[in-house]
Amino acid sequence: QVQLVESGGGLVQAGGSLRLSCAASGSIFVINAMGWYRQAPGKQRELVAVISSGGNTNYADSVKGRFTIARDNAKNTVYLQMNSLKPEDTAVYYCNSRGLFSSSRYESDYWGQGTQVTVSS
């Protein structure tokens, strides 16, 4: 079994900051990439940021310059530092992990349960 547990969500005023964390545990052979997605009410889930085990990153245009993704490979943990938050950032944020799990030779994805981020104006 593989589990992803997110933490750090909450309610903040516009312009404030939050730091999300996601720790992966269980039958993990290697994690190649971890990332964050979000889903606002009535909208589809979208990519926020992703980071490879080698440190390559990719961000949605809407968060560039405000959000920073980081990792701790030894702890199978990914972080999302969110600064200058806007009401439009309000959503449930989900952690994603891609890699080799259990004894499988094929890559697969696992998802966390999500953590709510609410930004007030």
In angstroms, the first-to-last Cα distance of the chain is 41
Residue 1 scores a pLDDT above 90: no
pLDDT tens digits for 34-54?
A: 999 999 999 999 999 999 989
CA atoms within 13 A on the CB side of 101: 18
- C-beta separation of 60 from 46 below 8 A: yes
pLDDT tens digits for 56-99?
A: 999 999 999 999 999 998 899 999 999 999 999 999 999 999 99
Mean pLDDT across the stretch 111-119?
97
